[in-house]
A and B are shown apart, each in its own frame.
Chain A
Amino acid sequence: MLNTEPNIASPDDFYEALLSIHQGLAPEQSRQVDARLILLLCNHIGDLSVLREAMARARRGIEPDGIDNTIAART
């Protein structure tokens, strides 16, 4: 189960470290860093059911406002 209770011993240190890796980065560069970070952390957690729970929580409340690059096919 996804742990949403406090789990990080020094939350302010963590938060500062998280922001500091983005310091001076352009949005696309930050996107790259975040993507790598997410992959590293997901692999560390490993348990797909926990990951799915986290993904669902992250996605909650966001109405899709973009388009995917595929087209419906019908022949």
Chain B
Amino acid sequence: MHVDYQSLRFEYRRSPDQSSLQVVRHAVVVVGAGPVGLATAIDLAQSGLRVLLLDDDSSLSTGSRAICFAKRTLEIFDRLGCGDAMVEKGVTWNRGRVFHRDHPVYSFDLLPEGGHERPAFVNLQQYYVEGFLLDRARALPDLEIRWRNKVTAVEPGEAGVGLLVETPEGEYRILADYLIAADGARSPIRRALGLESKGRTFRDRFLIADVRMKADFPAERWFWFDPPFHPNQSVLLHSQPDGVWRIDFQLGWDADPEAERAPERVITRVRALLGENAAFDLEWVSVYTFSCLRMARFRHGRVIFAGDAAHGVSPFGARGANSGVQDAENIAWKLALVLRGEAPATLLDSYDDERVAAADENILNSTRSTDFITPKNEASRAFRDATLDLARDCAFARRLVNSGRLSLPSTYRASPLNTADTDDFAGTMMPGAPALDAPLMREGAPNWLLRRLGGGFVLLHFGEAPPPVPETLPPLRLVNVTPDEDAEGVAARRYDALPGTTYLIRPDQHVCARWRRFDPEAICAALDRAVGRA
């Protein structure tokens, strides 16, 4: 069934909170029904908490915003119960090509190895992503969404956060044990608390056009430096569902954003790329300037910032929404444990430790790409041009060409929740790493490792049979992978596993500890550490 998610309008409904004589208290209030707020609310509600989600608007995202959703994000969406819809609708792609002037210089395959359920990327308009998340959110009885509820004041306190909410029928107050501010790049909550997001703005402008057309370009990411049809600037072409194509034209700092938006002007630029006789319709056009910035800290007592409210990156690398969804899953399990009294509130500080480090990684990557695409001085330009020239016949230079290093999840190497290895291990599945997928067989049918892990703390054990679990161990789910199930040995290879190898995996599917044998005492200690009790 096709739903035009862009045109959906959601009704404002009066809540009993608005007539209550006493200010009503909620365990968690999430502000902002963008991808990050929706993902956070779903994750919390799935773990059995009641969640209130407020949004000032009555519609989903419109126009040209995020399109590239990365493998890890899709795996998170799987856990949130809406990954299949995203992948079915999305355009799957793994390959990127880079051109300089009129010749190809470089191409890359983002997922050169098999054995992953999800592709490196799908392209999907942000309104679909939000739409599928919303469909899932609406199926959760513990999740209440209030549209046209705008948070206008925030009073953080020791015991809770007071909120003033404006609606078409006037204002009302509520209290929250915890407030997740996923209210976007301009974050009114950040401003209300007198906090700042700081960084650099790149002196450049980009025309982002979504064009509907029939075209036989392959589903790949094509990036041109200085092409004949748009000299001295770069162009990016990407395919989206419903025959829509995303075209980014770099314009330079001196371009007039108003004039550039004029349809005649855009059509001329698109024609230059597609040919004089190309038939297409403009879906949406905007002109952007990009920045890389973040807040100094994301947790401020009972107010926690996530997504664009906490950090921003240029889109080259598709790290905005992708990293925001990782914020969401990082905070969700921690907050759920704290609210259920199963972990101390200081566990929430590890959100700061882990996600600030992740934001820095994303900002670093995004800044490097933008420095390549938008040289910031004469020397950057000279080296950029030299790199592109050498890339034609020198393999090393191709590795330097940077049109965007595409979003990968962070490994929380320095996280206080990790237990350091005491046994010898090779490979990438170190404490702090996001668990890798692998193909398994189960009762004769294909099955995927990450699906088996699911949510919650999990012990992943490799062996013929699950180990006997002593009563002293807290009730943990145990996933045992037998050599038969791992017929191709991919899981054992990716986890450097031998019979007896045991991993403790967090609810967000990051590794927190691993051993060569099943050691209940070590597991208890690692679990304590992972919930901030060490």
A positions within 8 Å CB-CB of B: 31-32, 34-36, 38-40, 43, 66-75
Which residues of chain B have C-beta atoms less than 8 A from A43's C-beta? Answer: 394, 396-397
Whether B374 is near chain A, meaning CB under 8 Å from some CB there, is yes
Contact B386 A36 (CB under 8 A): yes
With contacts A69-B202, A71-B200, A74-B196 taken as known, whether A36 is within 8 angstroms of B389 at the C-beta atoms is yes
Residues of B within 8 A of A73 (CB): 197-201, 291-293
Contact A74–B198 (Cβ < 8 Å): yes
- In the complex, chain B residues whose CB is within 8 Å of the CB of A40: 390, 394
Set A39, A67, A72: member contacting B383, Cβ < 8 A: A39
Report B-chain residues with C-beta under 8 Å of the C-beta of A36: 386, 389-390
Kindly state whether residue B14 has any CB partner on chain A within 8 Å: no
Is the Cβ of B389 less than 8 Å from the Cβ of A69?
A: no
Q: Contacting B376 at CB < 8 Å: which of A31, A32, A35, A68?
A: A68
Q: How far is the CA of A69 from the CA of B376 in the complex (A)?
A: 4
Residues of A within 8 A of B394 (CB): 40, 43
What is the chain B residue whose CB lies nearest that of A28? B382
> B209 to chain A: closest CB distance in Å?
24
Contact A35 B200, beta carbon cutoff 8 Å: no
Interface pairs (24), CB distance under 8 Å: A35-B382, A35-B386, A36-B389, A36-B390, A39-B383, A39-B390, A39-B397, A39-B400, A43-B396, A67-B377, A69-B203, A69-B204, A69-B253, A69-B374, A69-B376, A69-B377, A70-B202, A72-B199, A72-B201, A73-B200, A73-B292, A73-B293, A74-B196, A75-B185
- From residue B292, how far is it (CB to closest CB) to chain A in Å? 8
Q: Which residues of B contact A74 (CB under 8 A)?
A: 196-198, 293
Interface string of B284-295 (1 = CB under 8 A from A): 000000011100
List the 7 closest pairs (A to B, CB-CB), nearest first: A35-B386, A69-B376, A35-B382, A73-B201, A70-B200, A43-B396, A36-B386
Given A35-B382, A39-B383, A69-B202, A75-B196 contact (CB < 8 Å): yes
- Contact at B382–A70, with CB atoms within 8 Å? no
Contact A31 B382 (CB under 8 A): yes
Bound-state CA distance A69–B202 (Å) is 7
Contact present for A75 and B186 (CB under 8 Å): yes
Residue of A nearest to B291 (CB): A73
Supplied contacts A35-B385, A36-B390, A74-B197, 6 more A-B pairs, CB within 8 Å: A35-B382, A39-B386, A68-B376, A69-B375, A73-B197, A75-B185
